[in-house]
Structure 1
Amino acid sequence: MRAVVVREAGGPEALELVEVPVPTAGVGQVRIRVEAAAVNPVDALTRSGALGAAGLLPPRDVVGIGWDVAGSIDEVGPGVRGFAPGERVIGVRDRLDVTLGTYADFVVLDAAAVAAAPARLSAAEAATLPLNGLTALQALDRLVLAPGATLLVTGAAGAVGGYAVQLAALRGLRVVAYAGAADEEFARAVGAQWFVPRSGDLAEDVRALVPGGVDAALDTAVLGVAALGAVRNHGSFVSVVGGAAPVPLRGITVTEQWVAADDAALARLSALAEDGRLTARVADTMPLAEAVRAHRRLDDREVLRGRLVLVP
């Protein structure tokens, strides 16, 4: 089968499309025939060697790329219940110790990292759900906000931020969305009560809408202390990038969100997408063989609304 790997860390050209043996599902695992794999910023960090330098990736000669997958069950390992060959699924590879990623023709995942795919979505759309949706969902769970509480979401038009706004609104939270001015219509359409464009002073603009500051912030744009200024004293703050959280000033509880595979949470996301309550956005689809070009687009910081998705 084909798989995209890195032998020597570097730019997009470090990605290699190679032939490798088809992996076998072990105990508690399933093998998925990949129909779509989303391209995420963490993939570029893996490719560039940044994760390895941070001590998050064990040293090895070959590094697989890709976290998100949508496809169909191809093989069910011993001890797995609830999945059958041919079933459409979504999954996330959150284990960095395994050799191959989801940029491949097949991928083996723990069954606990897989859930049924939403039938109404295409494979490309479904592939944008696992990593970004789980990150948003688990960050909101960490904040523990009651209905009616106020929440600032930075990067509200991005892949994680867009899901965060929708999931927060579904919980009855009053959301302040922070994004580019052109994204106001989208942010309001998916549930934001207020909108703050990037052109002004974030903390002052938010406090003009919510006197005293919001109860919490979910910082998907990694603004750090600039977003912290919009939060009230003794509020809550979650950063979705490790090592980017600001100092917990003014009694604010500051935490970092590290995504974890969770089949029950994936099933919740899939059900919401199936009901039309989560909007999946695909910026473009590209063949697996063009992974290098996809990463060039990622590195060029092309303005994308949704994810690039690789397909066989």
Structure 2
Amino acid sequence: MRAVVVRRFGGPEVLELVEVPVPEPGPGQARVRVAAAGVNPVDAVTRAGVLAEAGLMAPRETVGIGWDVAGTVERLGPGVAGFAVGDAVIGLRDRLDVPLGGYADALVLDAAALAPAPPGVPAVEAATLPLNGLTALQSLDLLDLPAGATLLVTGAAGAVGGFAVQLAARRGLRVVAQAGERDAARLRELGAEWHVPRDAADLAAEVRALVPGGVDGALDAALLGVTALGAVRNRGSFVAVSAGAAPPGLRGIRVAHVWVAADGAALAGLAALAARRELALPVADTLPLERAEEAHRRLARGGLRGRLVLVP
């Protein structure tokens, strides 16, 4: 079968499409025939060697790329209950130190990392849900804000930010969405109560003009750090979505960093929302597996609305 791997770190040109043996599932695992794989910023920093340099990956000769998949169960390992061959599923590969990722014809995952695919939702849309949806959900869980509380979401037009706005609104939170002007109307449709511009000269002042005293919490999907922290009230909550992006807990603010973890049960809940079209799953474009390098170049240029998706 085919898979995209990295054998030396660098730019998009180091992505290699290679032939590899079909992986066999072990106990508690399932092999998924991949129909669609999301392309995410974490794939780019993995490819570039940033995660290896940070000590987040064990050294290995071949590194798999890709976290999100949608596809069909092709083979089950011993002891798997709840899934059958032929089931449509979505899943998250959350380990970095593995030789195969989602950019492949097939992928073995723990059954606990899988969820039934949302019925009626195309695979290319469903593939955008696991990583970004779970990151947003687990970030909101860390913030632990009660209904009626105020929340700043930075980078609200991005994949994590967009899910965070929608899920926060469902929890009864009052959302301040930070994004470009062209995204303001769409974010209000997704549930944001207020909008502040991405290029605001003083983000904290803009937010505090809307919410005097500061918001109760911030979900920093844009990795603004202390710039976003200034918008949070004393003893509020702050969650960063990338390693090294969490600012110090000034003014008694509780600061955390989310390390996303595969969670099939939580993913099933998100899939149910997607099936009812209560979660928007934006797709910027689809490309065949052999054009992974092009996908990474487009990702680096920015300006995408939705995820790029590779279709083996």
TM-score (norm 1): 0.99
Mapped partners of 2:98, 2:232: distance in 1: 39
Question: What does residue range 36-51 of structure 1 map to in structure 2 within 5 Å?
Answer: 36-51=36-51
In structure 2, what residue type is equivalent to 1:206? V
Distance in 2 between residues matched to 1:202 and 1:181, nearest whole Å: 14
1:28 aligns with 2:28: yes
Which AA in structure 2 matches 1:16? E
TM-superposed deviation, 1:225: 0.5
Task: Tell me if the contact between 2:63 and 2:97 (Cα under 8 Å) persists in the aligned partners.
Answer: no
Q: Where does residue 208 of structure 1 map in the other structure?
A: 209
Q: How does 1:175-186 map to 2 (within 5 A)?
A: 175-186=175-186
Instruction: Give the aligned CA root-mean-square deviation in angstroms.
Output: 0.6
The residue number in structure 2 matching 1:95 is 95
Aligned to 1:224: 225
Secondary structure of residue in 2 paired with 1:206: helix
Deviation of the 1:281 alpha carbon: 0.4
1:31, CA displacement in angstroms? 0.3
**Correspondence for 1:168:** 168
Structure 1: distance between partners of 2:37 and 2:11: 20
Q: Which residue of 2 aligns with 1:70?
A: 70
Deviation of the 1:197 alpha carbon:
1.0
What does the per-residue CA deviation read over 1:92-140, in whole Å, with 9 as the maximum and x for residues that have no partner?
Answer: 0001222100100000000010000101211010000000000000000
Tell me, in whole angstroms, the C-alpha distance in 1 between the residues paired with 2:113 and 2:24.
16
Is 2:63 aligned against 1:58? no
Cα deviation per residue 1:240-267 (whole Å; 9 max; x = unaligned)? 0111111110000000011000011101
- Count of aligned pairs: 311
CA distance in 1, matches of 2:120, 2:208: 40
Note the alpha carbon deviations across 1:54-106, whole angstroms, 9 max, x for none. 11111011111000000000001100001011111000000122210010000
Which residue number corresponds to residue 240 of structure 1? 241
Q: Which amino acid aligns with 2:95?
A: R
Following the alignment from structure 1 to structure 2, what is the Cα–Cα distance between the partners of residues 74 and 89? 11
The secondary structure found in structure 2 opposite 1:142 is: helix
Instruction: Kindly state the Cα deviation for residue 275 of structure 1 after the two structures are TM-superposed.
Output: 1.4
The one-letter amino acid of 2:52's match is G
Deviations 1:176-223 (A, max 9, x none): 000001100111000001111123221001101101000000000000
Whole-angstrom CA distance in 1 between matches of 2:143 and 2:99: 33
Match of 2:156 in 1: 156
C-alpha contact 2:17 2:290 (8 A) present in aligned 1: yes
Aligned residue identity for 1:257 = V
2:11 paired residue number:
11
SS of 1:293's partner is helix
Q: Structure 2: any 5+ residue segments left out of the alignment?
A: none
Q: Distance in 2 between matches of 1:151 and 1:80?
A: 40
SS of the counterpart of 1:56? Answer: coil
Equivalent position of 2:264 in the other structure? 263
Tell me the equivalent position of 1:293. Answer: 294
Give the drift of 1:299.
Answer: 1.9
Cα deviation for residue 298 of structure 1 reads 1.4
How far is the alpha carbon of 1:300 from its aligned partner? 2.2
The 3-state SS of whatever aligns with 2:227 is helix
The separation in 2 between residues aligned to 1:279 and 1:298, in whole angstroms, is: 20
Question: Whole-Å Cα distance in 2 between the matches of residues 168 and 30 of structure 1?
Answer: 32
Q: Structure 1 CA distance, aligned partners of 2:245 and 2:7? A: 28
Instruction: Name the SS for the 1:61 alignment partner.
Output: coil
Mapped to 2, the partners of 1:151 and 1:306 lie a distance apart of 22
3-state SS of the aligned residue for 1:196? Answer: strand
What does 1:126-137 align with in structure 2 at a 5 Å threshold? 126-137=126-137
Q: Is residue 251 of structure 1 aligned with residue 252 of structure 2?
A: yes
TM-score by length of 2: 0.99
SS of residue paired to 2:259: coil
Deviation at 1:29, TM superposition (A): 0.2
Distance 1:244 1:196 in 2: 21
CA distance in 1, matches of 2:172, 2:205: 24
Identity %: 69
